[in-house]
Structure 1
Amino acid sequence: MSQFKTRIERNNYIREQKKEKRISRAKKSAPLLGTAMILAPAAISINSVKVNAAEVGQTQNQSAFIEQLGASAMQVSASNDLYASIMVAQALVETGFGSSSLSSAPYYNLFGVKEYSGGPSVTMSTQEYLNGQWVTMNEPFAVYGSYSESFQAHASLLRSSYYAGAWKSHTNSYQDAAVYLTGRYATDPGYAGKLISLIQTYGLTRFDTPGAGTAVESTDQGQTQQTASNGSEATQTSGQSYTVQSGDSFWGIAEKFGISVDQLMADNGWTSATTIMPGETITI
């Protein structure tokens, strides 16, 4: 994270600078273009239908990503006196809704944590703001086995006394925690507003509810663990059919039947791009 921006904002700034240079060169010659982001205006209008379709798919992926994060954050936050909603919102900001390669399998690094102690790591190119200019550097980033591990490492950081003002027991609401983190976790003066907006827009406070019954995220072997309180319920409801209702989400259905989001998706052959529709019959 730079001195003035979050990692995602910094990378967006670099992309914009490179984009302006490419467009300037395009006026002099016909360049070989790699992405639609730097196409000439005429080409963009021709491909508008494809762009819109891509945006729909992106929205579907974002929804599934949020549910996966929430399932893991709930387990970690409950035992660390933290707001799961805050942790999920932070992960969304840091990863650009899961668009960063570092946050994806097999790395699962949601918060751009670097590793200098000899633990599992991957070396990636990153932009650092040094001596008044952006410098490209190769840095070692921590590698985790799952989102749960990444959240646990982040929780260990937030449990330090430096962030005590963001703990549940020291605040009245997630808004208080977001405000406290601004200027400490991130120097961006708009950081609290971004977290609060994400929490309200995507209803992330549902992950702050104690004992909501979601299971921890599946491990890299594809196995899941259910909370003991829901073990009998899952046994009783397995093999049932359920008709999707208006307003249902992956997480909501999983909670209702006492199973994990990963298990629900596996039972129905879904992927992160799947969208469920009211009236659809699914298997529990």
Structure 2
Amino acid sequence: MVIAPTTAALLPQESYAEEYQPSENEASYLINQISTSAQQIADSNDLYASVMIAQALLESGNGNSSLSSSPTYNLFGVKAYGQEPSTWMSTKEYVDGEWETMDEPFRVYNSYEESLQDHAAVLKASSYSSGAPNYEGTWKSQTSSYTDATAYLTGRYATDPDYGQKLNALIEAYNLTQFDTPAQAGNTTESIQETEVSAESESTSEKTQTSSNTGSTYTVQQGDTLWDIAQNQGISLDELMANNGLTDQMVTVGQQLNV
């Protein structure tokens, strides 16, 4: 369900979450949590999923900030106005050439998906006074690449003068442009991968069953995370990563894991 933004929520955001440097594993975990929803929401709103996910990583400290955690789920530092459900927290603002810390009211959501939906609504909405879109420069149809969108956000969505550069660095580090492919096409590709993996698994099933040393395998499904797989298989996350020589928690649909 799309969250209808309030009048104030349509105004350019001036908040900027306190800078936090997440580890590679932490970043991968949040990407796994929100990438499917972000891809679908961005695709239906003419937005870059890569930019949306990068903003979530940067603004929320990879989901570790108090604001982005349960029960508030505010990934993007969206402020609350009027009678909206809110919580007061400290934030840093770039004012007159320097950072200042102040307390501000922030919106409360019921889930990450609600936060993603509201963020898309803000980027697609128009000013009530002029009727002009607030963030048209972030739309796919109005830009040539994601770097145009991140540049447009700088000084408009966030007061940090290096905001766009930080988003670009995250997009490149975690290959987030892979999520800019339309969600439907991505799902078709995943279905093809799953079919190919299934066929390969069937052709080698006898060898797997007769070998006592190979152990069992698990094929990654849509929405899976390494933590969920480890819990369901009754092993620790560290053991699962070690079994498969993984250095981060990124997995892809159709990937086979030794469990």
TM-score by length of 1: 0.59
Q: How does 1:179-190 map to 2 (within 5 A)?
A: 179-190=151-162
Distance in 1 (alpha carbons) for counterparts of 2:237 and 2:139: 34
Match of residue 24 from structure 1? none
Which amino acid in the other structure matches residue 154 of structure 1?
H
**Greater relative contact order, per chain length (Cα 8 Å cut-off, separation 6+):** 2
**Root-mean-square deviation (Å):** 4.1
d(CA) in 1 for partners of 2:93, 2:40: 35
Q: CA deviation at 1:129?
A: 5.7
Aligned residue type for 2:64: S
Per-residue CA shift, 1:2-22, capped at 9, x if unaligned? 96x83224xx7xxxxxxxxxx
Distance 1:71 1:131 in 2: 36
**Tell me, which stretches of 5 or more residues in structure 2 are unaligned?**
1-11, 126-132, 203-217, 247-255
Which one has the bigger helix percentage? 1
| Aligned match of 1:269 | 231
Q: Distance in 1 between matches of 2:171 and 2:257?
A: 28
Aligned mates of 1:268, 1:129 — CA distance in 2: 40
Q: Does 1:193 align with 2:160?
A: no
Alignment CA distance shift 1:112-1:266 (3 Å): same
Question: Are the equivalent residues in 2 in contact too, given 1:144–1:150 (CA < 8 A)?
Answer: yes
Paired letter, 2:50: S
Match of 1:174 in 2: 146
Q: Kindly tell me: are residues 273 and 179 of structure 1, through their superposed partners in 2, closer, same or farther at Cα, counting changes over 3 Å?
A: farther
Match of 2:120 among 152, 155, 164: 155
Once the two structures are TM-superposed, the CA of residue 111 in structure 1 deviates from its matched residue by 1.1
Please tell me whether the aligned partners of residues 138 and 149 of structure 2 are also in contact (alpha carbons under 8 angstroms): yes
Deviating above 6 A after TM superposition, structure 1's stretches of 4 or more consecutive aligned residues are 130-133, 270-273
123, 128, 144: which is aligned to 2:109? 144
> Aligned pair 1:260/2:223, yes or no?
yes
SS of 1:126's equivalent in the other structure is strand
1:133-191 Cα distance to aligned partner (Å, 9 max, x none): 94643x43222121111011000111121111110011111011111212221232222
Aligned partner of 1:99 in structure 2 is 64
* Alignment check: 8 A CA contact 2:93 2:159 kept: no
| Counterpart Cα distance in 1 of 2:137 and 2:170 | 20
Post-superposition offset of 1:99: 2.3
Q: How does 1:1-284 map to 2 (within 5 A)?
A: 6-9=16-19, 58-121=23-86, 123-127=87-91, 134=100, 136-137=102-103, 139-160=104-125, 161-210=133-182, 211=184, 213=186, 259-261=222-224, 265-269=227-231, 276-277=241-242, 278=244, 282=257
| Superposed displacement of residue 261, structure 1 | 2.8
3-state SS in 2 of match to 1:102: coil
Residues 185-230 of structure 1: CA deviation (Å, up to 9, x unaligned): 123222211111110011111111113556xxxxxxxxxxxx9x95
For residue 273 of structure 1, report the CA deviation from its aligned partner.
6.3
Q: CA deviation at 1:128?
A: 6.3
Is contact 1:74-1:208 (8 Å) kept? yes
- Number of residue equivalences: 206
Q: CA deviation at 1:79?
A: 0.5
CA drift of 1:63 comes to: 1.6
- Aligned counterparts of 2:164 and 2:179: Cα–Cα separation in 1: 18
1:213–1:258 Cα contact (<8 Å) kept: no
Distance 1:87 1:173 in 2: 14
Distance across 1 between alignment mates of 2:159 and 2:150:
12
Q: Point out where structure 1 has 5 or more consecutive residues left out of the alignment.
A: 13-54, 215-226, 242-253
Q: Secondary structure at the match of 1:118?
A: coil
